[in-house]
Structure 1
């Protein structure tokens, strides 16, 4: 097999390799032939960075879908030919508080396919789903509805992430305003969930670099107002748009300190800031306004079974649009082109398909 591999625990370490072995399937394991794998922002941060690592190898690609081509002799719930999408979990402890309440993706010992060392993902031909995780977390794999394509299903990760952030964690009411920071896949799925929840004004804040492609798609998906933070005063513009109604909910898919600072200035009292994006930069401003205005800052990570099931059902019913976000389809051997298109903001979501032997 060919595949896009990453080495090391630090940022970087991408290499394209040949002659990778086909995974061996144990008695409880499932083997998937990958039909679509998406490039994620989490992958993008490693692109072009040399970390010098030669250990802690894994095949990258944690957003993938495909067909089951082999099952272990003890597998009863899944069959060869099933069209499936993985939510990328390869291991959880099954014992911690998060696992005990079904919130497996924040298990302290969680290991992710395509992300964690030793856990191979979808930027190749075959992916093994370990039977060990399916014993503990049976919904780490889902069947794809007949009318949903492999490409659309490969977008389940950011789709479900946005669903949980807004539909499950926020208290947004129909007729209220919402601000979304970030025009990537997470931000644009958040736009759609906000629209489905009846948001009055959906205000998207992002760089002017997104105007050519992403803003046009975002408008189609439901954005009512755009603010370019590198050209406009974000706080002033939001206040002009929201007026006396204010902003009760902010979804921060960017994660920068600047986005948090602006969020604290524009959120109304008793509002919620849901932080999906991440940054390692230190904060150089006070967050006392959280207390003074009785606001909530909610750290958000990933999704759960409810998010996954409902997102797939919305996709099946045509209630959410993944096709508009898939702007480029490329063979795996053209992976660098896909990463470059995402870096330049020419692409929103790039889907890679296997083109090896």
Structure 2
């Protein structure tokens, strides 16, 4: 076992504090990663505060991990010491169900994927995430970070990047398609960049026009305020795809009205509260209300290569570990442009 420094949530809703955790010995197919940077995802806050239900404590959050391999097991073939790598939202799955075999490990039906934190591994031990100095992960759940991406801006791609890339690809965002991104935050800003790079016509739908200049710089063609009722009149029936990145309850009927016939409203943000829906909102014009969760390992690698090829990572604010609790409050107040990233050397 290896003892490493980390930041943990000792109990539900408690502030994070510095501590130490034990990492398992490097097994035959494992890699030991010296974590350089870890992104702060809104999911970390939901789970640390039990917004999505009962969780396991102490909790070390973090599933946007970028670092360097420092040790490999004797059976490892994919990575070598010195490689630049990343770890996202999962560190294992059953590997035998149809979804795992087709590269959709995130939808594992053989017991579910093993989360990078707030989960139990196959030995029944709790997993601890990336707010730490090092992590041990099976090579099959590690991805390579291309040389064209610096590790700090690459870290958020391991969740925010793949969470938006996967549905944009699945619902065929590209030339000739009108795509709306609902929310201009950690997920939304990546959705704008990726949809633009895929060739779609991109519109941002945000509560206000406060971030309009940023949205246009990142690749949006249009920017509208959802607080203005005229937006829903002007844009009725406009979009092939709306990607909702917000984690607050919405008037889904209003946003479904913005879709064309056969359009889809896809949710990647997960509100803590149940939603209500008049089914005529989807029955009329054969619309789809759907969801999507991260992506498989192969698709995550594809996303990283795509971002590197197009020359972009996330827009980040780099912080020291002692600023994590403040960063959580700022995320809740939408006061970040657009992803906090922890310099783990400060842990």
Which TM-score bucket, shorter chain as reference?
Answer: 0.7 to 0.9
State which of 333, 336, 345 in structure 1 corresponds to 2:334: 345
How many residues are paired up? Answer: 334
Q: 1:183 to 1:115 in 2, by over 3 A?
A: farther
Per the normalisation by structure 1, the TM-score is 0.83
State which of 127, 138, 141 in structure 2 corresponds to 1:119: 127
Q: 1:289 to 1:261 in 2, by over 3 A?
A: closer
1:222 counterpart = 2:224:
no
Identify the residue that residue 30 of structure 1 maps to in structure 2. 31
State which of 212, 230, 236 in structure 1 corresponds to 2:233: 236
For residue 55 of structure 1, report the CA deviation from its aligned partner: 5.3
Identify the residue that residue 82 of structure 1 maps to in structure 2. 83
Q: How far apart, CA to CA, are the structure 2 residues paired with 1:54 and 1:292? A: 39
1:282 counterpart = 2:279:
no
Identify the residue that residue 203 of structure 1 maps to in structure 2. 203
Q: 1:172 to 1:26 in 2, by over 3 A?
A: closer
For residue 147 of structure 1, report the CA deviation from its aligned partner: 2.6
Instruction: Answer yes or no: is the 8 Å Cα contact 1:29–1:75 preserved in 2.
Output: yes
Deviations 1:16-44 (A, max 9, x none): 13243454323332111100100011113
Identify the residue that residue 154 of structure 2 maps to in structure 1. 153
Identify the residue that residue 101 of structure 2 maps to in structure 1. 100
Instruction: Answer yes or no: is the 8 Å Cα contact 2:104–2:296 preserved in 1.
Output: yes
Secondary structure of 1:249 counterpart: strand
Secondary structure of 1:27 counterpart: coil
Identify the residue that residue 166 of structure 1 maps to in structure 2. 168
Measured on the aligned residues, the alpha-carbon RMSD in Å equals 2.7
1:261 counterpart = 2:253:
yes
Deviations 1:240-276 (A, max 9, x none): xx7xxx2221111125442522222111112122222
Instruction: Answer yes or no: is the 8 Å Cα contact 1:331–1:354 preserved in 2.
Output: yes
Identify the residue that residue 332 of structure 1 maps to in structure 2. 321
Q: 1:59 to 1:257 in 2, by over 3 A?
A: closer
Secondary structure of 1:286 counterpart: coil
Q: How far apart, CA to CA, are the structure 1 residues paired with 2:275 and 2:49? A: 27
1:322 counterpart = 2:323:
no
Identify the residue that residue 64 of structure 2 maps to in structure 1. 63
For residue 110 of structure 1, report the CA deviation from its aligned partner: 1.0
Q: 1:15 to 1:305 in 2, by over 3 A?
A: closer
For residue 300 of structure 1, report the CA deviation from its aligned partner: 1.0
Deviations 1:43-90 (A, max 9, x none): 133567799x99543421110110111222333332221111113322
Q: How far apart, CA to CA, are the structure 2 residues paired with 1:68 and 1:45? A: 30
For residue 302 of structure 1, report the CA deviation from its aligned partner: 0.9
Instruction: Answer yes or no: is the 8 Å Cα contact 1:178–1:249 preserved in 2.
Output: yes
Secondary structure of 1:45 counterpart: helix
Instruction: Answer yes or no: is the 8 Å Cα contact 1:85–1:141 preserved in 2.
Output: yes
Q: 1:283 to 1:106 in 2, by over 3 A?
A: same
1:20 counterpart = 2:9:
no
Q: 1:356 to 1:293 in 2, by over 3 A?
A: closer
Per the normalisation by structure 2, the TM-score is 0.85
Deviations 1:215-236 (A, max 9, x none): 3322201223222223444412
